[in-house]
Amino acid sequence: MSSDSEKGRFSLLGLSEPELSAFIIHKASQANVEVSVIEDVYPCSPMQENIQMSKSRSHDAQYRMVAINHITLPRAGDSIDIHRLRHAWQQVADRHSILRTIFAESFDHGRFCDQIVLEHPDINFHEVSDVNQTPDGISFRQDSPAYLLTIMPLELDERGVVCRIEIDHTIIDGWSYGIMLRDWARAYAGKLREEGPAPQYSDYIAFLQTENHEAHLQYWLNALTGVQPCLVPGTMGLHVKRTQSSRSVPVLNIRSPILQAFCRKLKVTVFNVVQAAWTMVLRKYTGMDDVCFGYVAACRDLPIGNAEEIVGPLINMLVCRTRLDSLQSTSELVQAMQRQMIENGRHQTTSLGAIHHALKMRGLRLFNTAVNFRSFRRDKFQEHGIAIEVFEDRRNMEVSKISLA
C-alpha cells in the first residue's frame, strides 16, 4: 500500500501510509471482499450519508429508482443479443466507478460511512420471463453494487427486450440515469471505447473537500435568520396521521404561450412560477407570511471538469425562504424566486443536515414539503442503430423522501 499510485488512489482519505494499510484491510473485512479487488476508497457526499443514515434508522426505507426500459434494434430482422447487452453493461460499469461502488460503516470521527470502489464486482444481471414479476425493494448484497438489471425478451414479432432497472439513490440521480443509458447504447454498438476517460464521482468528492464550508454555511444562516418551521398542515386545525409520501402532479399547459410570454417579460423560468405558486399554497395552509420549503438542485453547474458527465448523485436539497409581507405583487414574488435561486446556487453544496444543526433545530424539521419540477417526456437514447426508451419511470418519487426524512 505504499506505492505512489496507491497513495494517489486513496488520497481523498487523508491518511498516512501506515494508517492507509490498516484502513484498507479493515474495509475489506467490513465489505467481505479481498484487499486485492479494492480500487479506491473515499468519503461519501452529504447526500449519500443522509440516505445511508435514513436506511439505518428504518430497514423498511427504500431510496431507489425503478425504471422499465424498452431496448430495440430498428432494422427489420435484427434481434438483441443478450450476451452482448450484458457485456456492454460491463463496459459502462468499467467506465463509471460509481457503478462498481459499495458502502461500509466509517470508523472516522464525523463520517457515517465510506464508499469502496471494486475493480470487477459481479453484475446483478438476470433474465426472466416477466419483468413485472420482479418485486420492488429486493435486498442488495453487501459485497456488490446496489442495483439489479432484469431482462425479458419480447415476443417473437417484436425486435428487442424489456429491461427493468432498480438502483439505489446512493449511487445515482435522475441526470446520471440518462448518461448511463446513453453509454449502454454506445457500448452495445461498439463505440464506447472510442470515448475519452469519463469524469468520476470521486472528482465531485474531491471538489467538496476544497469548498469553504464555513462561508457557505454562514450564507444560509444569514438567509434563514429568524425562520420558523414551516410545516403542513400547520395552523388550520387539521389532524392527520404523520406519514411520508410524495405525489407527482401533471400540469396541463404548463408551457402555454401565455405563461411563456409572462416568463420572458419578467426574465424568469417556469420553475420560478411553480415555486411562487407553492409559496402561496403554504401561506394558505400554514397561516404564515414567512414560509420555506425545499427544492432540488442538480449541481451540474459546479466548477468541476465535465460535471454534466459524472454518473453519481450530485443533487442536493436547498431551501427556498420567502417573506410574503414584503412583496406587493405576483410578479415581484416570481422575480424574488429567481433572485433567490441564483444566490442559493452559489452555495448549493451545503447539506440540509448542516443547516439544521447550525440553526439548532433540536430535532425539529425546518419544513416538511419540497417541490421538484421537470418536463414530462419519455427519455429515448438512440446510438448507432440501437434505441433505449424509458417507458415507465419512478425516479421522481424518491427525491423529497431522501432529504426530508
| pLDDT value, residue 246 | 58
Residues 216, 194 within the same domain: no
CATH number at residue 318: 3.30.559.30
Q: Which of 112-121, 204-213, 353-362 reaches the highest mean pLDDT?
A: 204-213
Give the type of residue at 296: V
For position 197, which CATH number holds? 3.30.559.10
Residue 236 has a pLDDT of 47
Compute the average pLDDT of residues 323-338.
Answer: 91
For residues 58 and 325, the model is more confident at 325
Q: Does 233 sit behind a cis peptide bond, omega within 30 degrees of 0 on the bond before it? A: yes
Q: Of all helices (H) and strands (E), which one includes residue 89?
A: helix 82-95
Confidence check: pLDDT of 168 > 60 = yes
pLDDT score at 182: 92
Dist. CA 198–CA 307, nearest whole Å? 10
Burial class, 121, CB count within 10 angstroms (exposed 0-12 / middle 13-18 / buried 19+): buried
CB-based contacts of 110: which residues, under 8 Å, 6+ apart?
Answer: none
Residue 292 resides in a domain: yes
**Residue 291 within any structural domain of the chain:** yes
Please return the burial class of 175, using the count of CB atoms within 10 Å of its CB with bins 0-12, 13-18 and 19+: buried
pLDDT score recorded for residue 390:
83
Distances in whole angstroms, Cα of residue 364 to Cα of each of 75, 290, 303, 360, 361: 58, 17, 33, 9, 5
Average pLDDT over residues 342-371: 93
Is the domain of 175 the same as that of 219? no
Q: Do 379 and 319 reside in the same domain of the chain? A: yes
Give φ, ψ of 255 to 5 degrees.
-110, 40
Hey, how many other C-beta atoms are within 10 angstroms of the C-beta on 285? 18
* CA distance readout (Å), 337 to 67, 277, 282, 300, 325: 32, 10, 15, 20, 15
Q: Are residues 45 and 114 in the same domain?
A: yes
Percentage of residues in the chain with pLDDT exceeding 90?
49
What is the C-alpha to C-alpha distance for residues 176 and 158, in angstroms, rounded to an integer?
29
* 52/157 same-domain check: yes
Q: How confident is the model at residue 62 (pLDDT cuts 50, 70, 90)?
A: low
What sign results for the dihedral spanned by CA atoms 128, 132, 138, 144? Answer: positive
pLDDT band at 150 (very low <50, low <70, confident <90, very high): confident
Do 219 and 200 lie in one domain? The reply is: no
| Nearest in space to 228 (alpha carbons), one of 401, 403, 364 | 364
Give the structural domain span for 54. 13-205
**The pLDDT of residue 219 is above 80:** yes
Q: In the chain, what is the straight-line distance between the N-terminal and C-terminal CA atoms, in Å?
A: 39
Say which range, 78-87, 161-170, 374-383, has the weakest mean pLDDT. Answer: 374-383
Is 70 exceeded by the pLDDT of residue 139? no
Task: Give CA angle at 160 (154, 165), nearest 5°.
Answer: 85
pLDDT of residue 364: 86
Residue 159 lies in a domain: yes
Q: Is 125 part of any domain? A: yes
In a domain, 135, yes or no: yes
Q: With 50 as the cut, is the pLDDT of residue 2 above it?
A: no
Q: Residue 403 above 50 pLDDT?
A: no
pLDDT at 396: 43
Task: Tell me which amino acid residue 235 is.
Answer: T
Model confidence pLDDT, tens digit, residues 10-55 = 999 888 888 888 888 888 888 888 999 999 999 999 999 988 888 8
Using alpha carbons, list the distances in angstroms from residue 4 to 23, 118, 137.
17, 19, 41
**Is 5 among the domain residues?**
no
Looking at the structure, do residues 265 and 152 belong to the same domain, yes or no?
A: no
Domain count, the chain: 2
Residue 163 has pLDDT above 70, yes or no: yes
Averaged pLDDT, 97-118? 88
Tell me: do 139 and 280 sit in the same domain. Answer: no
**Same-domain pairing of 181 and 267:** no
Amino acid 333: pLDDT: 96
Q: Judge if 217 and 200 occupy the same domain.
A: no
Q: Which amino acid is at 387?
A: A
Residue 7 located in a structural domain: no
* One domain for residues 143 and 217: no
Stretch 156-181: mean pLDDT? 84
Percent of the chain with pLDDT over 70: 82
Last residue of a domain, one of 186, 205, 224: 205
Confidence of residue 235 (pLDDT cuts 50, 70, 90): very low
Cβ-proximal residues to 391 (8 Å cutoff; 6+ apart), any chain: 68, 69, 70, 378
- Would you give the DSSP letter of residue 75? S
More confident residue, 125 or 236: 125
The C-alpha torsion from 81 through 84 and 85 to 87, rounded to 10°, is 160
Average pLDDT, the chain: 84
Q: Is 30 in the same domain as 176?
A: yes
Q: Does the residue 242 lie in any domain? A: no
157 vs 388 pLDDT, higher one: 388
